Amino acid sequence: ETVSKTIKKSRHCDLGLVANPDNNYKLTGCLVERDKPLPLKFAVQDPERYTSQRLATLLKELNIGVSGKIRVGTAPEKQRKLIAMH
């Protein structure tokens, strides 16, 4: 909610942030109107989950089907297969 400085002070309305393990954030509170956006930076809480979800989304957008699970990590040496080299 955008408010004046007076209202913000009277409501004791500071910004609050809740980070969830599924990489979602909830920002609450009041903010005085600004000329420039408020610079916010958030860390990914679960990089493995984010990576697998993002990869699944990109593959779906490219109409590339996936059977099985997307797993993040290093594949065992015997299961590695070079598919491209630049």
Domain boundaries, the chain: 2-34+43-69
What is the pTM (predicted TM-score) of this model? Answer: 0.55
Helix, strand, coil shares of the chain as percentages rounded to 5? 30, 15, 55
CB 27, CB 41: distance < 8 Å: no
User: Sorting pLDDT into bands at 50, 70 and 90, what band is 23?
Assistant: confident
Structure tokens at 12: 């004791």
Three-state SS at 49:
helix
User: Sorting pLDDT into bands at 50, 70 and 90, what band is 2?
Assistant: low
Q: What is the pLDDT of residues 59-83, one digit of tens each?
A: 999 999 999 888 888 888 888 888 8
